[in-house]
Chains A and B, each alone.
Chain A
Amino acid sequence: MALLEVKDLGISFGGLQAVDNFNLSIEKGELYGLIGPNGAGKTTVFNLLTGVYKPTAGKVFLDGTDITGHRTEEINKDGIARTFQNIRLFQQLSVIDNVESALHSFEKYSTFEAMFHCGRYAGAEKKLREKALEILKVFDLDMMSEILSSNLPYGQQRKLEIARAMATEPKLLLLDEPAAGMNPNETAELMDTISLIRDKFDITILLIEHDMKLVSGICEKVTVLNFGKVLAEGETKKVLADPEVIRAYLGDDE
């Protein structure tokens, strides 16, 4: 049984069929790429998988359970976490608070205990903090835990967003263009980070990326999306050599 099984997924905005008949099957532990030209519907697929949009057709199964139509926060509890194409950090919170807010459901105490800092408050906060620091350490961000997240350098902000997503302990991590706007050094560092979390957390990753070096470097399989439809899928090397795929990216050779 595949970890993520997407069947005939589709959504239309008015007359525009943004994603049509989308099928995807990702095995546990795989690192899977979703590629395609601009406007192909890649981010829309992410938004469908995470419940930002409700699909108008098709089903999504995670680990065998139907999660179609769940709300975004439920889908996170189901086991999918994501990052965003345009970084969405909690800018006015410190680095560690960004991670701690993702640990929201791990240590619970009541609002009354929150308002008077009594009961379970101290113990829970201490545990949350330790856990958050542990996660930051994995991403090499622990030295900057008290800095406002908006003051981090660009590459670190991307990392923090991944750290925040990982803090929710997902089964499947969705990365939306993690290398966008990065220089080659930062991209190389990012590739290391992705391999690291995959080894360390035993996680399945689906990523959208335009940087073909990154895709061919780390993805085992890819699906190519064009005009909302699957153009090709399979092993990365074979798919990237497919003349249809090259045509979609580079246009017709007339």
Chain B
Amino acid sequence: MLKKKMLSRNSKGRFTTYGIVIAAWIIMEIFMRAGLMSSHLEGLLVPMTYYAIVAVALNLCVGILGELSLGHAGFMCVGAFSSALFSLVTDGVMPDGVRFLIALVIGVIVSAIVGFLIGIPVLRLNGDYLAIVTLAFGEIIKNIINAMYLGVDSKGVHISFESQMALNMEPEGKTLINGAMGVTGTPHDANFTIAVILLLLALVVVQNFIDSRDGRAVMSIRDNRIAAESIGIPVTKYKMLAFTISAAIAGMAGVIFSHNIATLQSTSQYFGYNVSIMILVYVVLGGIGSIRGSVIAAVILYLLPELLRGLNKYRMLIYSVVLIAVMIINWAPKAIEKRTAFFDSIRKGMKRNGTA
């Protein structure tokens, strides 16, 4: 009895989410194999998936931990560049699969470390300091990498912030990061299937985490920090843990990003604060604290402006109208009431049909 109750409460929702993701993947694959998909749309599938992953990561930070982060694009950036550098250096040295796997681990670990370091001073404080600091971090990391020249030759690694010539490399040396030109020639290891697998991994990790002793501790801190302390929960430790996991998953999305793009540049278009805000929009509209909602919102809201490209002038107008409409449907009490009644009537109807 107890076990059954537990399953229905915690596990059912989780497996529905996995089911939706897998079903979406199968449908997309069928469309692709059958040649029914335009190459434009096909090119959107991987970005769509890694933005869904970052949205899940950010929801862990905003919805579960209750701390606002405006720098998740920065963690993506860290994951993207650290893994791209590894893949570039080891290209041809080892099999593709192994290389990508190691690159993935490196991207995740490096962004986790960066997240941890940022968390040390900020997460001890109460208030919106994390938002301010992560906003600054995202911009700083983007600009530093944008101005950086990095090369490697037989003498070792060369770094410069002036020009490629200032690297003073041997003629046969290899330029890894070419300033604003970015990183070129990263092996194209990631594809839609790998991205979906990693999305599932992110979902498993985050949803399982929420439904565990650690997740309860994190949520109790979110709901009432003072009460959480009073029952012996080490607040700073759990805030750091959740934030580090969130940063690590955002870094994982960055790894897919860098292994799916010909030229990896650290520009505002990819890693600026507006991207962080866009991801936050996915999280808020998908429902703060609702992991499944984040995935669905990320997919719809990423595809929408892209699919509306044909409408050119009216594209952003329609996009913003949709944002407002979604917000009303999600949050307005009257709309929630109508929505619940609607779904209840459908459920009843289905039951009646089932018994008849």
Using a CB–CB cutoff of 8 Å, the interface residues on chain A facing chain B are 50, 52, 71-73, 76-77, 81-82, 84, 88-93, 97-98, 100-102, 104-105, 107-109, 111, 114-117, 121, 124-126, 128-130, 133, 146, 164-165, 167-168
Contact = CB atoms under 8 A, between A and B. Distances in A.
A128 B213 contact: yes
A176 B2 CA distance: 34
Contacts of A84: 226-227, 230
B235 interface: yes
A98 B228 CA distance: 10
A30 to B, nearest CB: 22
B232 interface: yes
Nearest to B3: A126
A89 B227 contact: yes
B205 interface: yes
Contact of B208 (A52, A117, A124, A167): A117
Contacts of B213: 100, 104, 107-109, 114, 124-125, 128
Nearest to B218: A101
Contacts of A102: 231-232
Contact of A93 (B3, B204, B216, B231): B216
B208 A114 contact: yes
Contacts of A167: 231
B12 interface: no
Nearest to A167: B231
B152 to A, nearest CB: 34
B220 A111 contact: no
B270 interface: no
A108 B222 CA distance: 21
Interface string B232-267: 111100000100010000000000000000000000
A92 B231 contact: no
B219 interface: yes
B311 interface: no
Contact of B212 (A114, A133, A164): A114
Contacts of B80: none
Given A88-B226, A93-B216, A101-B217, A73 B209 contact: no
Tell me whether chain B's interface is mostly helix, strand or loop, or mixed: helix
Interface residues of B, number: 33
Contacts of A88: 224, 226-227, 230
Nearest to A91: B223
Contacts of A128: 213
Given A104-B231, A129-B6, A168-B231, A97 B216 contact: yes
A206 to B, nearest CB: 14
Nearest to A133: B2
A84 B212 CA distance: 26
Given A81-B230, A84-B227, A117-B208, A104 B217 contact: yes
Given A82-B230, A168-B231, A168-B232, A90 B223 contact: yes
B223 A73 contact: no
Contacts of B215: 114
Given A90-B219, A90-B224, A117 B212 contact: yes
A165 B231 contact: yes
B214 interface: yes
B170 interface: no
A76 B219 contact: no
Given A104-B232, A116-B204, A129 B2 contact: yes
B229 interface: yes
B219 A92 contact: yes
